[in-house]
Each structure stands twice: as structure tokens, then as C-alpha cells.
A and B are shown apart, each in its own frame.
Chain A
């Protein structure tokens, strides 16, 4: 079976869930080989990748790889593509993942498909475009298929494999050293999962009413182990930080469960959440367009409904 390269997405050695999803997906396409780039590799990391099906693990853990933007990782993958002729390459469709995919595509003269929500036989990718209005199947026709897959496309399933390690010594080109990271600022995560990766997202909109009231959205999120999101109306009002905005100009999320409170459902908001598997809507206006795509909706005041919901969940938990 031919190899499928999976770029490991990790923050300083901590492997992100999306990597396990990609390994799961790669097993249906060929033999998964994980590609580790940057410092932080450990026995625990090796064990985790093997547990989720990595037959091989290519390790390039030089400090230097993390010191420059994107290009070193594209260079590493390009070298492996040249040496191993894999059947395809999967990366996470995060902002950075897509950039890596883009540079890799140019380097290897290969087509690239971004934001896949699924990948089937022959690396045919499923996409959801125009704010979820149209489903498309696309494929790469020249070179090695390079596909950036959205987090939560597949539930991660363990399937232990050999996880044979192979060190890769990478000598960076000068052009890969053009953009140097001089400082890395890590924000307090507050214990919540990351927005684009979270299995559950609870978002608040203009109906929340104030920055202080976002506390009830956060409490609901915490009762579910969820990430918090916000509509643009809420971020523009300064009630919640911009990086949590969901939608066309914000993050795209595709969680198992999306709960929207006080969000009307403008097309630009839907563009960022329409591929969520289950959608729950709480809004006092029965005509709010978001109810059209809700699996379960409550017409009511979120200031009543949300705290009661949190209380119920805590009772059950």
C-alpha cells in the first residue's frame, strides 16, 4: 500500500486532535506516515501517533524549523514527496496548514485542495462552499494530491500500528529562512479547547447584550467542555475578542455540536458554521433565519434558557 503523508499539527510537542483525525482518514487511503516537524518530539508523541495508525514517523525535530514561518515545513514535506512518492499528503486546514499546503503545491508542482470536509477513494475531496449552500467533490489532476482537511471531518479512531521512526536531517534553504520568528506570544487558553478544533462550540451574538453577559455563554461552554465563539455583532461591539469570531471573516468551525444563542443567522455567520453536525439555536425571535438549519431550537430569552440549560447539564454530569 502506498504511503500517505500526514503532517503532525502540534504546539510545542503537544499533538492536536486534528492530527489523529487525519491519521484515521489516511488509513482509508493508504498507509499513514506521520511527519513531525519542529522541536518537542518525545516517546509519548511517538506512542500517540502509532496508536492512531502511523506505520512510519518521519522526524525532523531541529529547533530551527520552528524559527521561521511556514517555509521549513513545506521544504520538509517537499523533500519527503520527492523521496517517497506518497499517494497523497494531508494537512490540517488551519490558516497555517493551508499556507504549508500552498507552498508545498508550488514546490512539488502539485494541485492543492483546501477545506475538505471528507476525503474518499482516489483522494476525491468533499467540500462545502458558498456558506454551505453547495456541495462539491474535487480532485487533484496533476502531481501529488495535497489536501487540507478541516478539523472534525472524521472522529479519531485508534488502530495501533508500528510507528517506525525515521530521522530526517533537513538543511534549510536560504529562502526558507526569510521570515524569522523573533517572539512567540502564547495566550492564556483558560482551559477551553481551541475554537477550530473543539468538538462542541457555544456561540453568542448580539442577543447576549453585553460583555458581562458573555459569562453565561462561557458557563454553558464549560459545562460541556466546549469552546466559546461569537458573531461579528458581538466581537465588533467589543463584548468578546476578535479571534473568537465565527464566520466569513472569522474562523470556520465544523464541530459535532454548535449551540448559537442570540445569533440571527446571517449568511456571513453561517459561512463559518454550516457544516456543524448538530445545530442548536436559542433565539427570542421565531423568525430568525438560523432556525432554518437548526436540529433543535428554542424560541425564548437566552438569559433564561442558557443558565437553565447549564444547570441541567451540570445536574446530569
Chain B
């Protein structure tokens, strides 16, 4: 089975994140890049499926040069090889362009199963997996808290607002995972050393037959009109509990008509 895991490098949420004043895109140089947390769960799930059913795990990441750090981390966890989609023309791509570029790359490299995180921590749109399923004509098995494979049939538990759905499809499929699906492994020393030798193929847009008028900031389907730091919340009242803390909160809630 040919499993491709999509991994995004995102700015560390523990550091200050900014938009660039020139083109209003995320300032990826201002903060340290880390693996999008949910993508570690996606890699873990891919590795488990490979361990159970055989096949190969390929990491796919679209991003700037420094995204290689993120790719190495996924390889150190145990993925077999990687494809790095890297082209300045892709800078500023929105969700439509990103899904288009990744779909083109997937068509080029081939896949049976694509696994993603259900959401990134920077843009947090949570649309990519659904868009890929739409573009690839593959089954959408998203928001999965459990994945099972029986030959060519994939069954997932899809987290819903009211509980979960069991959803079934035949490969090829696009899966996205939620946090409770597994516990990602830490790369071992051996894994880190081995990752250095694993093949990473770098593709430019043209290599994946990505039309340049469908990607990048200038061709985006949406734009940032303006942005500003959130105004600090007006300083609230903080009291010390002298046995009356509960009553004081109740008074505050009453003043705001919550009770």
C-alpha cells in the first residue's frame, strides 16, 4: 500500500506569530518552524498502518526551504522517503491553491491512501483534506479517531458533534486524523541517524504540472484586507477570595444579565 502523509511546517505556537506588513502573509521567518502537531499523529497512523499491512510511507510537504527540518523529523519517526514541493511561486497560496498544488503532486507521485492532520495550527482552516478528496475524486474519510483497513476497504470512526459515525470506503481515500487517534512515537537516535540518508525529492511547480496561474498570492481566491493586533482586553476586576468570592462572581454575572 502506497501511503502519503501530508506534513506542514508551522511557526511554533509558543513564540510570537506575525503577519508580514508588506504582503500580509504569515511571517514564516519570524518564528521557529515546527511540525504541525496533528501531522505527527498523521505520521504515526501511517506508520502503524504500514506495520500492520505493509507498503511504503512517503512524506509530502509544501513549503519553503526550511521545511526540510520538518520533513526530516517525519522521516526520523520512520517514514521511508519524502517529497518536498518547493517553489517561490507557491508563496502566499490560499487553501484552494494549496489543495490544487498538493493534489497535482499526489497525482504525479501516486497514492492509495493520503493521511493529513485535521487542522494546522497557523491557518487552522481545516479544509485541506476535504478539498483534496474533491479534487482527486477519492473517498473522504476525515476527522478520524480510528482507522481500520481490510484489503482495499477502509473504515474510520469519524468524530461528529453528536458522537461518531462509522464510515466505509474503498481505496483510494483521503483520511484526516484527530488528536485522540494515537500517541505519536518519539524519533529514536537510530531513527534520526537513518533519516539523514533517506531520499528527499524536491519538486518545483513545473515538475508536478502545477499551472502557475492557479497558485501564489497574486492568484489567490481570497485576500487579507487589513489586520491589526487585537486591542488588549480592557483590564478586568480581580479580587481575592475572602470567603465571598463565589458571591462576588454571582454579582458580576447578574450585572451582566447572565443570571
Q: Residues of A contacting B238 with CB < 8 Å?
A: 281, 286, 291, 294, 296-299
* In the complex with contacts A71-B140, A180-B169, A300-B240, A105-B246 CB distance below 8 A: no
- Digit string of B88-102 for contact with A (CB within 8 Å is 1, else 0)? 000000111001000
Most chain B CB neighbours (cut-off 10 Å) among A141, A300, A306: A300
How distant is B135 from chain A, measured CB to nearest CB, in Å?
Answer: 6
Residue in chain B with minimal CB distance to A100: B130
Q: Does B52 sit within 8 A of A, measured CB to CB?
A: no
Per a CB cutoff under 8 Å, which of A69, A94, A248 touches B158? A69
A109 and B131 CA atoms in complex are apart in Å by 11
Q: Residues of B contacting A143 with CB < 8 Å?
A: 221
Per a CB cutoff under 8 Å, which of B127, B167, B221 touches A141? B221
A242 and B224 CA atoms in complex are apart in Å by 34
Q: Does A207 sit within 8 A of B, measured CB to CB?
A: no
Per a CB cutoff under 8 Å, which of B126, B164, B229 touches A114? B126
Contact status B228-A134, CB under 8 Å: yes
User: Chain A binding site: helix, strand, loop or mixed by DSSP?
Assistant: mixed
Q: Residues of B contacting A185 with CB < 8 Å?
A: 163-166
- Digit string of A159-186 for contact with B (CB within 8 Å is 1, else 0)? 0000000000000000100111111111
Q: Does B142 sit within 8 A of A, measured CB to CB?
A: yes
Listed stretches A28-36, A39-47, A308-316; interface member: A308-316
Residue in chain B with minimal CB distance to A143: B221
Q: Does A131 sit within 8 A of B, measured CB to CB?
A: yes
Contact status B162-A186, CB under 8 Å: yes
Interface residues of A in 101-121 (CB under 8 A from B): 101-103, 105-107, 109-115
Interface residues of A in 244-293 (CB under 8 A from B): 245, 248-250, 256-257, 267-268, 271, 278-282, 286, 291-293
Contact status A96-B161, CB under 8 Å: yes
Contact status B14-A180, CB under 8 Å: no
A183 and B164 CA atoms in complex are apart in Å by 9
Per a CB cutoff under 8 Å, which of A278, A301, A312 touches B250? A312
- Digit string of B122-158 for contact with A (CB within 8 Å is 1, else 0)? 1011111111011101111111000000000001001
A178 and B246 CA atoms in complex are apart in Å by 53
Contact status A179-B225, CB under 8 Å: no
Q: Residues of A contacting B165 with CB < 8 Å?
A: 69, 181, 183-185
- Digit string of B102-135 for contact with A (CB within 8 Å is 1, else 0)? 0000000000000000100110111111110111
Q: Does A191 sit within 8 A of B, measured CB to CB?
A: no
Q: Does B212 sit within 8 A of A, measured CB to CB?
A: no
Contact status B155-A249, CB under 8 Å: no
Contact status B230-A132, CB under 8 Å: yes
Contact status A106-B245, CB under 8 Å: no
A131 and B13 CA atoms in complex are apart in Å by 8
Q: Residues of A contacting B122 with CB < 8 Å?
A: 130
How distant is A215 from chain B, measured CB to nearest CB, in Å?
Answer: 16
Contact status A114-B125, CB under 8 Å: yes
Q: Does B159 sit within 8 A of A, measured CB to CB?
A: yes
Contact status A179-B141, CB under 8 Å: yes
Residue in chain A with minimal CB distance to B244: A308
How distant is B106 from chain A, measured CB to nearest CB, in Å?
Answer: 14
Contact status B173-A296, CB under 8 Å: no
* In the complex with contacts A102-B130, A316-B250, A110-B221 CB distance below 8 A: yes
User: Chain B binding site: helix, strand, loop or mixed by DSSP?
Assistant: mixed
Q: Does B247 sit within 8 A of A, measured CB to CB?
A: yes
How distant is A218 from chain B, measured CB to nearest CB, in Å?
Answer: 16
Q: Does A15 sit within 8 A of B, measured CB to CB?
A: no
Contact status A136-B224, CB under 8 Å: yes
* In the complex with contacts A69-B140, A295-B233, A180-B168 CB distance below 8 A: yes
- Digit string of B204-223 for contact with A (CB within 8 Å is 1, else 0)? 00000000000000001111
Interface residues of B in 223-259 (CB under 8 A from A): 223-230, 233-234, 236-241, 243, 245-250, 252-254, 256, 258-259
Q: Does A317 sit within 8 A of B, measured CB to CB?
A: yes
* In the complex with contacts A69-B165, A178-B139, A139-B173 CB distance below 8 A: no
Q: Does B80 sit within 8 A of A, measured CB to CB?
A: no
How distant is A68 from chain B, measured CB to nearest CB, in Å?
Answer: 9
Interface residues of B in 51-101 (CB under 8 A from A): 94-96, 99
Contact status A140-B221, CB under 8 Å: yes
- Digit string of A222-252 for contact with B (CB within 8 Å is 1, else 0)? 0010000000000000000011010011100
A136 and B237 CA atoms in complex are apart in Å by 28
Per a CB cutoff under 8 Å, which of A111, A178, A249 touches B169? A178
* In the complex with contacts A141-B222, A249-B179, A296-B252, A134-B37 CB distance below 8 A: no
How distant is B138 from chain A, measured CB to nearest CB, in Å?
Answer: 7
Where the two chains meet, the residues of A that have a C-beta atom closer than 8 Å to any C-beta of B are 11, 69-71, 74, 94-96, 98-103, 105-107, 109-115, 124, 128-143, 175, 178-187, 189, 194, 196, 200, 224, 242-243, 245, 248-250, 256-257, 267-268, 271, 278-282, 286, 291-301, 304-313, 316-317
A/B interface sample: 17 pairs, CB < 8 A: A71-B140, A74-B134, A95-B143, A98-B127, A106-B99, A132-B230, A134-B230, A179-B168, A185-B166, A187-B162, A194-B161, A257-B253, A257-B256, A257-B258, A286-B240, A294-B236, A305-B249
5 closest A-B pairs by beta carbon, nearest first, are A300-B241, A308-B246, A111-B221, A102-B127, A312-B250
